[in-house]
Amino acid sequence: MNIDTYESNTGLRIVATLIDYILIFCFTIVYIYQFGEPSEDGGFKVSGLKGLVPFLFWFLYLPICEWKFCSTLGHWTVGLKIISENGEELTIGQTIKRRLSDIIDINWCFGLVAFVVVKSTDKKQRIGDIIAKTLVVKK
């Protein structure tokens, strides 16, 4: 892939991320209200093994879908896919590395870090893509 012609697809990436995290957020909220117990402050809480379910959903939805399908529902909806820099098939390790850095890239400062890094790098990668050696491209 010629880096000079590589597009950041910033707008599409933002929409894809919003779709993915809204889906995860909605699942988590519904799960907590359906299977949680009332808390002292009037809300609901899950504890013990029940508390692992939202994480398992996150893991199945993001790293596993990206590994198996090179896409999440958000990426698929806007016509993007994740590929390995070296052209080989994505590995589960790459997708896990990519998503563990969401804590810095996306969740901290509402995605500002990812936006700045994508705009600043030659290959238009966020921190997770740099660490995992992946690229986000149009299908």
The pLDDT averaged over each successive group of 10 residues in the chain (139 residues) is: 62 94 97 95 94 96 97 97 95 97 85 89 93 95
- Scored b (16 or more CB within 10 A) or e, 72-81 reads bebbbebebb
DSSP string, 67-113: HHHS--HHHHHHTEEEEETTSSPP-HHHHHHHHHTHIIIIIGGGGHH
Q: Which helix (H) or strand (E) holds 45?
A: strand 44-45
How far is residue 44's CA from residue 49's CA, in Å, rounded to a whole number? 15
Coil/strand/helix, residue 121: coil
What's the pLDDT at 6? 62
Q: What are phi and psi of 83, to 5 degrees?
A: -130, 160
The 10 Å Cβ neighbour count of residue 116 is 12
Q: What are phi and psi of 52, to 5 degrees?
A: -80, -20
Coil/strand/helix, residue 135: strand
